[in-house]
């Protein structure tokens, strides 16, 4: 913490010793770890393993709602029970609300994976924050998020959205007060605790952001092919045996 404020990176995809060290170097107090296609118990175990006295790692899920061609991502922090991908948007929101999770909108209006301006407006009362700065994205893409948050008077957040180690520390959200720990962070998000979005713009950070953006090409080419054709049923598929049929009626596949 710095001066009674807590630095939180609300969305990272990677977690190991290098990530922890980069977070410490940047003065980040809390990382929210939400990898793709990974079930909550595994995320929670890894988050606990890499939490230290100086850095709290909070488990979360970026849930892919809808089908692959028209998916809408929602970031849920504070889940107690696993929620699969590829269920309907309404079903995901209902499950988040049942569990009392904070619901955030990452990278709004980005490609075909994000909530649109109209969707954010329609669900504003069920959303706890909109991402207005994402280190993986650039200028106009982040500006859209800022305009959406302003239009609907919603709280904001910024993240590194790190898929590669070097991006950690490129951006964070700085909250008033001590919001370390999962419960404190969920409360701060749901209560709209004052915060500011902080980003770095030095040459080294700009280079790391370019590397991060280039990684997007892999995600949407070979990575996508692997998910669709080669991997079989994902651990977060709603019909996976781990969910015991609870989401069969809201599965889109």
Longest dimension (CA), the chain: 50
- Residues 6 or more apart whose Cβ sits within 8 Å of residue 217: none
Residue-level pLDDT, tens digit, the chain, 253 residues: 777 999 999 999 999 999 999 999 999 999 999 999 999 999 999 999 999 999 999 999 999 999 988 889 999 999 999 999 999 999 999 999 999 999 999 999 998 889 999 999 999 999 999 999 999 888 899 999 999 999 999 999 999 999 999 899 999 999 999 999 999 999 999 999 999 999 988 776 666 666 666 666 545 544 454 554 445 578 999 999 999 999 999 999 8
d(CA 22, CA 31): 11
Q: What kind and span of H or E run contains 148?
A: helix 139-151
d(CA 201, CA 181): 28
**Residue 118 CB coordination number (10 Å):** 10
Domains of the chain: 5-250 (3.20.20.140)
Report angle CA 98, 235, 168 to the nearest 5 degrees: 80
Beta strands in the chain (DSSP E): 5-12, 30-33, 56-65, 72-77, 102-105, 129-134, 156-159, 171-176, 195-199
d(CA 199, CA 208): 13
């Amino acid at each position: 913490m710095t001066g009674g404020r807590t630095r939180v990176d609300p969305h990272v995809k990677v977690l190991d010793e290098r990530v922890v060290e980069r977070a410490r170097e940047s003065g980040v107090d809390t990382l929210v770890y939400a990898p793709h296609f990974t079930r909550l118990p595994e995320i929670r175990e890894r988050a606990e393993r890499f939490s230290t006295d100086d850095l709290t790692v909070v488990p979360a899920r970026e849930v892919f709602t809808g089908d692959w061609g028209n998916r809408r991502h929602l970031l849920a922090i504070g889940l107690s029970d696993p929620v699969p991908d590829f269920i309907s948007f309404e079903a995901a929101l209902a499950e988040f609300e049942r569990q009392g999770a904070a619901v955030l909108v990452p990278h709004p209006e980005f490609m075909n994976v994000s909530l649109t301006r109209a969707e954010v407006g329609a669900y504003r009362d069920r959303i706890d924050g909109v991402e207005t700065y994402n280190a993986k994205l650039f200028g106009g893409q982040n500006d859209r998020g800022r305009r959406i948050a302003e239009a609907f008077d919603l709280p904001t957040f910024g993240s590194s959205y790190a898929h590669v180690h070097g991006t950690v520390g490129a951006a964070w959200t700085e909250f008033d007060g001590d919001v370390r720990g999962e419960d404190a962070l969920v409360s701060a998000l749901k209560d709209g605790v004052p915060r500011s979005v902080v980003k770095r713009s030095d040459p080294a950070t700009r280079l790391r952001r370019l590397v991060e953006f280039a990684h997007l090409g892999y995600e949407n080419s070979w990575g996508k092919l692997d998910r669709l054709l080669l991997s079989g049923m994902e651990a977060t598929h709603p019909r996976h045996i781990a969910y015991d049929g609870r989401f069969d009626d809201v599965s889109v596949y």
